Every structure is written in C-alpha cells, then in structure tokens.
Structure 1
Amino acid sequence: MRFNTRKWVKPEDLNPNETLFGGRLLAWIDEEAALYTIIQLENTRVVTKHMTEINFMSSAKQGDIIELGIEVIKFGQTSLTLKCKARNKMTQETILTVDSITMVNLDEHGKPKPHGKTKVEFVDERLKKNFKE
C-alpha cells in the first residue's frame, strides 16, 4: 500500500474526548480516494458510490501525523474500487481501515462513463509514455 498523504491533527480536528473526530478522518479519506481516482482515470468527474465497513482500531490526538494509504482492489467498467488504511506516521499504529471504497467515473452529464483503464498507472510512467509518442 502506498502512503501518499499526511495530515497533521490540529485542535479543530478533535472531538470532545480530545481525540481525532472520526468524521474528519473519513472526510480526509474520501478526499484522498477522489484524488487518487481522478489521477488514475484522468477525469475530474468522479464520485464516491460506496464504502464498506469502517474499522476504527485506535485513536489519534492533537499533534499526531496521520498517513493515508490507498490501494486499488479492482478496475470496473465505470468504477475503481480501492482499500484504505490510516496510520500514525511516527508509531505506525493503524488507526482505521476501509476494506472497499467504490469510486465512479462520470461523464459531463453526471452519468457513469466507461474509463477503459485496467491497471494502475503512475504519473511519471504516463508522462514518459506520452513523451515518447
């Protein structure tokens, strides 16, 4: 799993227990899943369709650095299915896992659109390929 994003837990991210508010972490994950999908499918029109069970395993407190990891599980015809893990950067302790996040590729009218992708592409590989053509 690649961990591309880090978030710093600040006072505005805390719940009344003075730990990271779960909703804030889920918002970070949703944004990361959308950005990952946009880059993979080369389309800014994507939406979150579904998230499976969200498993909170530990907590984070103010000052902690959280890493978000995303991995592709499956390429569908109009979708990309991902899994996610959030962990404490310094301790490597897992904070949360999401087994499956389904992101859907849309056309200009907001309807599901086939994307034609079948494997993960990294931007530097895509740039090299396009440069050679």
Structure 2
Amino acid sequence: MNFHTRKWIKPQDLNPNQTLFGGRLLEWIDEECALYSIIQLENPKTVTKYMSEIDFRSSAREGDIIEIGIEVVKFGSASLTLKCEVRNKMTRETIIMVDKIVMVALDENGKPKPHGKTRVEFVKDRLADK
C-alpha cells in the first residue's frame, strides 16, 4: 500500500472525547481517494459511488501525525476500486481500514464514462511519452 498523504491532528479535528472525529477522517479519506482517482483516470469529474464497511481499529489524538494509504483493487470500465488504510505515522498502528471504495468517472452529463485504463499509471511515465 502506498501512503500518499499525511495529516497532523489539530484541536479542530477532535470529538468531545478529545480523539480524532471519525467524520473528519472520512472526509480526508474521500478527498484522497478522489484526488488519486482523478489523476489515475485523467478525469476531473470522478466521484465516490460506494464505500464499504468502515473498521475503526484505534484512535488518534491531538498532535499525532497520521498517513493515508491507498491501493488499487481493480479497474472497472468506468470505475476504479480502491482500499484504504490510515495509520499513525510514528507507531504504524492502524487507525481505520476501508476494504472497498468505488470511484466512478463521469461524462459531461453526469453519466458513467469508460476510461480505458487497466493498470496503475504514474504521471512521470505519461510525461515521458510526450
């Protein structure tokens, strides 16, 4: 799994229990998956269609640094299925696991648009082809 983004837990990210608010974490995961999928599918109109069961395994506290990892599970005709793990950067303890997140590329009318991708591509390789 590749860990692309780090977040520093600040006071505004906490719940009344003084641990990381789950909704904030899910917002970060959704944004990270969207950015990753937009880049992979080369389509800025890529949206979240589905998120499977969310497994909160531990928590994070103010001052902790967490990292968000994403892995491609499968390419569909208009979709990209990912899995996600968020962990504490310093201890490597898993905070949350999401086994299945489906992102869908859309056309100008908001309908699924086939993307023609079958494997993970890196931007540096696309630039080398030009």
TM-score in terms of structure 2 length = 0.99
Structure 1 residues 9-66: Cα deviation after superposition (integer angstroms, max 9, x where no partner): 0000000000000000000000000000000001100110001110000000000011
Deviations 1:47-92 (A, max 9, x none): 1000111000000000001100000000000100000000000111
Structure 1 stretches of 4+ moved >6 Å: none
Consecutive unaligned residues in structure 1, runs of 5 or more: none
How many residues matched? Answer: 130
Residue 98 of structure 1 is matched in structure 2 by: 98
Cα distance in 2, alignment partners of residues 117 and 105 from structure 1: 11
**Could you say what the CA RMSD is over the residues aligned between the two structures, in angstroms?**
0.5
Q: Quick check: 1:33 aligned with 2:43? A: no
SS across alignment from 2:37: helix
Counterpart in the other structure of 2:75: 75
- The 3-state SS of whatever aligns with 1:107 is coil
Other-structure match for 2:46: 46
Per the TM alignment, residue 128 of structure 1 is displaced from its structure 2 partner at its CA by: 1.0
For 2:22, the equivalent position in structure 1 comes to 22
- The runs of 5 or more residues in structure 2 that have no matched partner are none
Q: Shift of residue 6 of structure 1?
A: 0.4
Distance 2:122 2:64 in 1: 29
